[in-house]
A and B are shown apart, each in its own frame.
Chain A
Amino acid sequence: MSMAVPALRVGRLAPVGVAAALAGLVALLALLTLTLGPVPIPAERALAALFGEGGAAETAIVQGVRAPRLLLGLAAGVSLAVSGAALQGLLRNPLADPGLVGVTAGASLGAVTAIVLGAALAAGLLAPLRPYLLPLAAFAGAAAATGLLFALARRRGETGTATLILVGVALNAVAAALIGLLAYLSSEQQLRELSLWSLGSLGGANWTMALVAALLALLAGPPLFTASRALDLLQLGERAAFHAGVEVERLKLRLGLAVALGVGAITAAAGPIGFVGLVAPHLARLTVGPAHGALVPVAALYGAALVVAADLAVRLVAPPSEPPIGLALSLIGGPFFLWLILRSRDDA
């Protein structure tokens, strides 16, 4: 046949177009993050300040406060969205959000352990490793929760929604109890630190924290972005994926560790931020379809846009006070989750 094969669309938008539009949106939101705030700085001067060519005060605000906060927000959005997409693909369940299924709670438990018992733990670490203590502890907690989740939620290669959510409820409950116990043991200063952190905020961002989080999230990137064919095949079930050439157990280990690393790094830096891992992959699925080659990068852009927009909103809603971003995202994500549950009930 000499006829040209038409591009595959199937009622979906072209991924490249969607990605370009989202990248533009993220760039716009990033610029707004640098310019808007208690001290508005026009875009031109904000960019100059970013590159160290502005006035001293503006440079201090942009370089010292807004830019690291923006970097942390971008890393959080990308990391949480991609982790959510990977978990949903691995578990064959569109409701698998790192927060709902307990991975974030595991990371939180690790981070809280580091905050409360941190002095004792840090004493055993070399000085250059200390900024990594919190992320490492969060990673360990997230990895343990992910392992438990994979082991408990699966029956013959399938993860039913009910089992998944119930295992998530159980993991969240156990982690919350242990966090409560640690809070009970903590000093007054630690308790204040804990309660601020536990609401989820980008407000405490500094360069060290943002760079460590971005670096660790970056490490988690390659396994998550290169598994798209295997994740597609997993949608047929684990046995069929094996038949088609996927080393299923190895894939789960690799992606589970990457998810734990990404979620751990972000949770350590910004506290538990829920629902990005649920909302962003869903928006991506609705616009570009379920093939992971397009879904994962587009979800990453949605995640970045979502977190940076939400952070902008909480900074501007009632200045100078700042409601935590975790609360804002839960206000959006909660109803969204409910809508998904109702919709999946209609489908079945």
Chain B
Amino acid sequence: MLEAQGLTLRRGDGLALDAVDFAVRRGEFVAVIGPNGAGKSSLLGALSGALRPSEGAVRIDGGNPARFGARQLSRKRAVLEQNPEGALGFALIELAQFAIPREIAPAEARRIAESALEAVGLRAMSRRLVRHLSGGERHRGHMARALAQLRAGRALGAGEWLLLDEPTASLDLAHQGAILRAARAAADEGAGVLAVLHDPSLAAAFADRVALMAAGRIVADGAPEAVLTPERLGALYGVPVHIGRAGGALAITPLHQKH
């Protein structure tokens, strides 16, 4: 289990997270959605071990992440940061291998990285320099880096958690689907996946559970059909929302007014 109990995170004189109770189980894909500033990234940061709780507790597989070193944590969970960047002078295949620990033999590391690139649709470009890729391709390259870290962790007997902070930002429709399918596949292989998403339709299409956040709290948590109601989303975002069905999937449309 990846869980938070009474998790509070102070930021300035306010609260980024306010006594949050939350858990992700193995094999489960949980999407966190909510307006800007609701505390989604803070929740992900605390669960990943990067941010220390002001109050309450975070547990990864029953242990306090602050007690694990960075190395041990990196085998348990992989993280895709919001707006990942850097490594411009490296080839894509090198980026995909970046977070694979040295304990993995080079040939095996290479195979893991290539299959991660395959999963995000970049296998054919593996020798291109990151510098020469588009913004969306770079983002997918970093997703491949996180997937490869997860698989490497699994090869070392851990690799249970995948945390994604806005993995579909800056991607076109087809690639949004490809990235979330790769995350879905990781969940189907047994990892617990937590993804911060902006688009409720994407959350409904891929997640087993959706957690809705507002002002540092989780205001609803459950199956997409149960959580994503026009009333709730309308109140949360302050925009009227229409929810329909298209080919079996929830289609969530904000009803914006021009004036």
- Pair B74/A243 contact, Cβ less than 8 Å: yes
Is residue A13 contacting chain B, with contact meaning CB distance below 8 A? no
- Pair B91/A237 contact, Cβ less than 8 Å: no
- Quick one: CB contact mask for A219-246 with B, threshold 8 Å, 1 for yes? 0000000000100110111011011111
Give the B-binding residues of A (Cβ under 8 A): 5, 8, 10-11, 92, 229, 232-233, 235-237, 239-240, 242-248, 285, 289-291
6 other A-B residue contacts (CB within 8 Å) besides A233-B99, A244-B98:
A236-B84, A236-B86, A242-B70, A243-B50, A243-B74, A247-B69
- Pair B71/A291 contact, Cβ less than 8 Å: no
**Residue A236 contacts which of B69, B85, B110, B129 (CB distance < 8 angstroms)?**
B85
With a CB–CB cut-off of 8 A, which chain A residues contact B127? 8, 10
Nearest residue, chain A, Cβ from B110: A5
With a CB–CB cut-off of 8 A, which chain B residues contact A232? 87, 90, 98
CA distance A233 to B99 in the complex (A): 7
CB distance from B78 to the nearest CB of A (A): 7
Kindly state the interface size class of chain B when it binds its partner: 20 to 34
- Pair B98/A236 contact, Cβ less than 8 Å: yes
- Pair B69/A237 contact, Cβ less than 8 Å: no
CA distance A21 to B74 in the complex (A): 38
- Pair B81/A237 contact, Cβ less than 8 Å: yes
Nearest residue, chain A, Cβ from B107: A5
With a CB–CB cut-off of 8 A, which chain B residues contact A229? 102
Nearest residue, chain B, Cβ from A247: B70
- Pair B87/A236 contact, Cβ less than 8 Å: yes
- Pair A10/B70 contact, Cβ less than 8 Å: no
CA distance A14 to B75 in the complex (A): 31
CB distance from B172 to the nearest CB of A (A): 24
Q: Can you identify 28 A-B contacts, CB atoms within 8 angstroms? A: A8-B91, A8-B93, A8-B94, A232-B87, A232-B98, A235-B90, A236-B84, A236-B86, A236-B98, A237-B81, A237-B86, A239-B50, A239-B81, A240-B86, A242-B50, A243-B74, A243-B81, A243-B99, A244-B98, A244-B149, A245-B70, A245-B71, A245-B73, A245-B75, A245-B101, A289-B89, A289-B90, A290-B90
Is residue B48 contacting chain A, with contact meaning CB distance below 8 A? yes
CA distance A5 to B110 in the complex (A): 9
CB distance from B96 to the nearest CB of A (A): 12
CA distance A92 to B127 in the complex (A): 23
Are A237 and B85 CB-contacts (below 8 A) given A10-B91, A245-B74?
yes
- Quick one: CB contact mask for B34-55 with A, threshold 8 Å, 1 for yes? 0000000000000010100000
Is residue B193 contacting chain A, with contact meaning CB distance below 8 A? no
Nearest residue, chain A, Cβ from B93: A8
CA distance A289 to B101 in the complex (A): 21
Give the A-binding residues of B (Cβ under 8 A): 48, 50, 69-71, 73-75, 78-79, 81, 84-87, 89-91, 93-94, 98-99, 101-102, 107, 110, 127, 129, 142, 145, 149
- Pair B70/A246 contact, Cβ less than 8 Å: yes
CB distance from B102 to the nearest CB of A (A): 7
CA distance A289 to B88 in the complex (A): 11
CA distance A155 to B19 in the complex (A): 29
CB distance from B40 to the nearest CB of A (A): 16
CA distance A236 to B138 in the complex (A): 12
CA distance A284 to B166 in the complex (A): 36
Nearest residue, chain A, Cβ from B91: A10
With a CB–CB cut-off of 8 A, which chain B residues contact A247? 69-71
CB distance from B151 to the nearest CB of A (A): 14
- Residue with the highest number of chain A CB atoms closer than 10 Å, among B78, B94, B107: B94
CA distance A254 to B93 in the complex (A): 29
With a CB–CB cut-off of 8 A, which chain B residues contact A5? 107, 110
CA distance A290 to B73 in the complex (A): 26
Nearest residue, chain A, Cβ from B69: A247
CA distance A8 to B129 in the complex (A): 12
- Pair A245/B86 contact, Cβ less than 8 Å: no
8 closest A-B pairs by beta carbon, nearest first, are: A245-B74, A244-B99, A290-B89, A243-B79, A236-B86, A10-B91, A245-B71, A235-B86
Are A235 and B87 CB-contacts (below 8 A) given A242-B50, A243-B81, A244-B99?
yes
**Residue A291 contacts which of B78, B90, B149 (CB distance < 8 angstroms)?**
B90
Nearest residue, chain B, Cβ from A248: B70
With a CB–CB cut-off of 8 A, which chain B residues contact A290? 87, 89-90
